Every structure is written in C-alpha cells, then in structure tokens.
Chain A
Amino acid sequence: MSNELILALIKSSIVLGVLLTNTIFLIWFERKLVAGMQSRVGPDRAGPFGLLQTVADAIKLLLKEQILPFKADRAMYLLAPIISLVPSFLIFMVIPLGPKINFLFNSTQFELELVGADLNVGVLYFLALSSIAVYSVVLAGWSSGSKYPLLGGVRASAQMISYEAAMGLSLVPVILYSGSLSLVDIVQSQSGNLSSAIPFLNNIVSFIPKWNIFPQFVAFVIFFIAAVAEVNRAPFDLVEAEQELVGGFHTEYSGFRFAMFFLAEYINMFNMCAITATFFLGGWLGPTFENILPPFISAIMPIIWLGIKTFLLLFIFVWIRATLPRLRYDQLMELGWKRLIPASLVWLILSAIVLGLREFGLPWR
C-alpha cells in the first residue's frame, strides 16, 4: 500500500472516531445544559456528572429488538437510516481543522493538510450532501407504511428544501467576499485584521480580526437561522412535533436504526456549527502562542480554536432549543420563503455592489 493510501485510511478512521465520541459528549452536553436552563439536575447517575448516560443509552438501543412494521417497504425502510448517516460523515471531510503541517512518516517527508479533502468546490460539496440527506427523511416517512411518519417526512422534506435555498443564497455573498469556493481558502482569506481607508476608523477596527461575521453579519444571521432549520432543531423541529405527529418520520424505527437517525442528527448539528465557524468565525484561525507553549501544543492550537468556536455555536443551538417555543407550520414556511430568501437576495445584491465599487471604483469616474 502506498503511503498516501495509509494516510487517507488514518484520516478517515480519525474522523469516524472523533465524530462518534464527540456525539456521545454532545448529547450529554445538551441534556445537562437544557436541564440547567430549566432548573433541573439532568442525567447524573451513570458515571461522573452523568457522562456515561449516553453510552448506557447507546448500549440499550444496540441490544433492543429491531421491529419491521407490517406495512413497511422493506428495502427503503432499511436504506433510510444509512442515507441519513453517510452524508453527515462525508460533510465533515471538507472542514479544514488547521494549517499545513510537516512531519516524517515511513522515512518520507510529508506535508499534510489538516482537512479530509481540500476540494476546490468545497462549498458546493457541502450543499450537495446536505440536499442528499433529505432523502433519508422522505424515505423513512414513506417506507414506514404509517400515517404519522408519512406526514412527518413530508413536512421535514418541505422544510429542508425551502431552507436549503435560503442557506445557499446566504453563502453566495461570503463566497464573493472570500473569492473562492474552497473552504481552506475561505479560512485563509479571513486571516489578519480589519482595515479601513479612513484613518480614524482604521485605528478602531484594526484590533478586530478579519472574520466574515463582521462585514457579512446579515448573511451570518440568515445562515444560522437556516442551519437550525436544516438540521431540524427546535424551534424548527416540526418534523418530530410530538403533540401532533408522535415521533415524526422515525416513529416506526426502533433499536439501532433509531440510534442511527439520532446519531446523524447530532453529527449534522456539530457539522453545521463547524461549518458556520469556518465560514463566519475564521475557522481554525487564532493565536497559537508559539513563544510560550511547547511546539506540540502550539501545533494543535488551531484545532482547539475551531473546537472552542464550534462549541460556542453549539451552546447557542441548545440555548435556542431550551428557550424558544416551536413555530407553527405556516409560520415556518413564511419565515423561509417570505423573509429569509428575499433578505438574502437583497444582501447578495448589496454585497455585490460594495465589492464592485471596491474593485472598479465609481461607475461615473
């Protein structure tokens, strides 16, 4: 086997391991946080601070009986959880975790980029895979052969399709601003500090890092709302509105197939936060303290920075879930089509005008 192949295998297994352990921690994090916000204790029996609660739940789900509903369409019923899980793992592959590092492996000098694959169309890859994930919801709802999952599936897919449009449109100004479709380049374009042509303003803003969130704040807000809706989290969790639809599209799923949907939801949430951090919060950029810290720790500082930013966003995700009531279905559709999409279009045109002026100057000169 060639060295590249071995490296690719190592990369893939690291991604798999990180995402799985991270999900276990994430579920605990969310339950603890929501409990705290609602003046409850939350899980505290299994392990220290209830950390092993998720592990116990996972083992329980693994050992449970798998039930195939009588009216289910067998092939599609078994396929749906797999379709939901695979894109969530694949999306993580394009998120850059750090700059290039040099190291020795099999007595060969390697220059490794801390990213699964640096695609020159990374943004499109992300959007394409999140649109593939819609199939899992549609198929799970349809193949269960029961009315609640069908309604949940139809709702979820309509929601995901409409918010995907807003999400894609809100990313276009960011791409214009960074001048690249590659996530690695988008992170690189955010290095350095803000600057202004006016000297007085320049003194004020030159301390602020050149993250996309500052010039593209409107895009950030639209993208974040669309991201919450895209991963079907509260207040947009109409998919599993338990008062109306029992459990939504995964009502009929049990045991490990249910766990796969659950896992995919949390990995998607984590991915969404990491992608938001990459697009708007400078990704892995941050001070590495090369002079103070030992070289090994300063080498992994970028990963730590990305982790901090991601968990800050995850905190907001959980915070929103714990505090906001669920939207009604027509309100959800109105917010998507009548507010977010027009707002992102207007913002796109404004950004394009500003960038054009900066590039070519005023048209009458």
Chain B
Amino acid sequence: MVEFLLFLVPASLVLIGALIVIFAQNPVHNAMGLVLTLISLAIIYITLNATFVAMVQMLVYAGAVMTLFLFVIMMIGVDKKEQSKESIKGQTLLVSGVLLVLISLLIYVAINSNFTWDLWFEAVQFDIEGTPQLIAGTLFTAWILPFEIISILLIVATTAAIALAYDTKKRKQHV
C-alpha cells in the first residue's frame, strides 16, 4: 500500500505538471509545470533507489536548466499570451506523430509484460550505498574516453557561444 502510494502521488504530479506545460497559457506557468514534472520524477527515482540520479536531476534540470529557461522567458518578455503562436509549420502534426509512436511503444511494453511491473525496489536488492561510487567507477574507468570527449565538446560549445556574442569591434571603440 505504502509502495503504491509512493508511486501514485509523484506519478500523478508528473502528469499534472506535464498537462500544465501543454495547456497553460502563460510561458512562466509552463516553465513551472515543467519544474513540477522534473522534481516529481526525481522523487520516483528515489523510490527506485537511484538517489544519485535523483539529486543530479534536481540539481541540473530542476535547479540550473529551468532557472535559465525562466530567466530567458522573463528577460525576452514573451510572458504574454499572444506571443506563444506556432512558429514552425507542421509542428502539431510532427509532434502528434512522434507521440503516437511513443504511446504505441508503451502499450506494446505493457502488454508484453502482462501488466506486471515493479513500482518499488527493496533497498536490499541494490546496494543503495553504492550508487555514487558505482556510477563514478563505471564513468571514470570504462567510459573515460567518451566522458572526456563530451566535456571537451561542452567547452567548445561554450567558447563558441562567447566568441559569437562578444563583439570585438564594439569593445575596441570603447577602449
């Protein structure tokens, strides 16, 4: 019963948040709906004993990425109803197509597993103390090369963004 409740409450919050993202008229409300979804998802990760993943989810997605989203929405000033019009042609059609594929996949998985799945993992089953060590161990031994390549990629992207935004001519005039 407790296990079921621990799944039901965050899962319904995930859905409510997702519905807010889709149906709310104000972009700030949309963003906060996404924050609700991300945080509730983190709670589900905790019930599945993936505490490290849950904390990273909170720290990176709910904490950093969404704050920047909110910042941009507030700064650019698109927090008006009429500005949230569809800008890409065929957007709705494309998204509904992808969604249909995803839903059919979900139904296929559900039927395949005869509608039985674990909502909850016992702490004994997986060594809960091991999650950060486990992830770090795999990441820094077997996957060290891809890990480093991704970090270089991120630095290149940041540097490129600075190079694009930094107006050298304007700077020289000031000096």
A135 touching B67 by the CB < 8 A rule?
yes
Give the chain B neighbours of A138 by CB distance below 8 A: 67, 70-71, 74
B58 touching A76 by the CB < 8 A rule?
no
B28 touching A142 by the CB < 8 A rule?
yes
Which of A120, A124, A129, A161 sits near B64, CB closer than 8 Å? A161
CB distance from B51 to the nearest CB of A (A): 5
CB distance from B45 to the nearest CB of A (A): 11
Most interface-central of A128, A139, A154, A157 (chain B CB within 10 A)? A128
Q: How far is the CA of A131 from the CA of B70 in the complex (A)?
A: 13
Encode contact with A along B42-55: 1 for CB under 8 Å, 0 otherwise: 00000000011001
> CB of A73 within 8 A of chain B?
yes
The answer to whether residues A76 and B32 also contact, given A128-B63, A134-B67 and a CB cut-off of 8 A, is yes
A120 touching B129 by the CB < 8 A rule?
yes
Which of B29, B56, B75 sits near A124, CB closer than 8 Å? B56
Residue of A nearest to B68 (CB): A161
B35 touching A135 by the CB < 8 A rule?
yes
Give the chain B neighbours of A157 by CB distance below 8 A: 67, 71
> CB of B128 within 8 A of chain A?
yes
B129 touching A76 by the CB < 8 A rule?
no
Give the chain B neighbours of A127 by CB distance below 8 A: 59, 63
B74 touching A154 by the CB < 8 A rule?
yes
B67 touching A121 by the CB < 8 A rule?
no
CB distance from A72 to the nearest CB of B (A): 12
B67 touching A120 by the CB < 8 A rule?
no
Which of A132, A142, A143, A154 sits near B62, CB closer than 8 Å? A132
> CB of A181 within 8 A of chain B?
yes
> CB of B137 within 8 A of chain A?
no
Give the chain A neighbours of B35 by CB distance below 8 A: 135
Which of B26, B39, B51, B70 sits near A120, CB closer than 8 Å? B51
In chain A, positions 130-158 with a C-beta closer than 8 Å to chain B are: 131-132, 134-135, 138-139, 142-143, 150, 154, 157
Q: How far is the CA of A150 from the CA of B67 in the complex (A)?
A: 15
Residue of A nearest to B63 (CB): A131
Give the chain A neighbours of B74 by CB distance below 8 A: 138, 142, 150, 154
CB distance from A165 to the nearest CB of B (A): 9
> CB of A125 within 8 A of chain B?
yes
The answer to whether residues A120 and B131 also contact, given A73-B26, A139-B32, A142-B74 and a CB cut-off of 8 A, is yes
> CB of B132 within 8 A of chain A?
yes
If over half of A's interface residues share one DSSP class (helix, strand or loop), that class is named, otherwise mixed; here it is helix
Interface residues on B, range: 20 to 34
Q: How far is the CA of A124 from the CA of B53 in the complex (A)?
A: 10
If over half of B's interface residues share one DSSP class (helix, strand or loop), that class is named, otherwise mixed; here it is helix
In chain A, positions 49-106 with a C-beta closer than 8 Å to chain B are: 73, 75-76, 79
A128 touching B59 by the CB < 8 A rule?
yes
B131 touching A121 by the CB < 8 A rule?
yes
A128 touching B55 by the CB < 8 A rule?
yes
> CB of A119 within 8 A of chain B?
yes
Residue of A nearest to B131 (CB): A120
B128 touching A120 by the CB < 8 A rule?
yes
A135 touching B58 by the CB < 8 A rule?
no
Residue of A nearest to B56 (CB): A124
Give the chain B neighbours of A129 by CB distance below 8 A: 58
Q: How far is the CA of A125 from the CA of B29 in the complex (A)?
A: 25
Give the chain B neighbours of A154 by CB distance below 8 A: 71, 74-75
Which of A75, A128, A132, A134 sits near B29, CB closer than 8 Å? A75
Could you list 27 A-B pairs, sorted by A, with CB under 8 Å? A73-B28, A76-B28, A76-B29, A79-B32, A120-B129, A121-B131, A124-B55, A124-B56, A128-B55, A128-B58, A129-B58, A131-B58, A131-B59, A131-B62, A131-B63, A131-B67, A132-B63, A134-B63, A138-B74, A139-B28, A142-B28, A142-B74, A154-B71, A154-B75, A157-B67, A161-B64, A181-B132
**Chain B residues with a Cβ under 8 A of chain A:** 26, 28-29, 32, 35, 39, 51-52, 55-56, 58-59, 62-64, 67, 70-71, 74-75, 79, 128-129, 131-132
**Chain A residues with a Cβ under 8 A of chain B:** 73, 75-76, 79, 119-121, 124-125, 127-129, 131-132, 134-135, 138-139, 142-143, 150, 154, 157, 161, 181
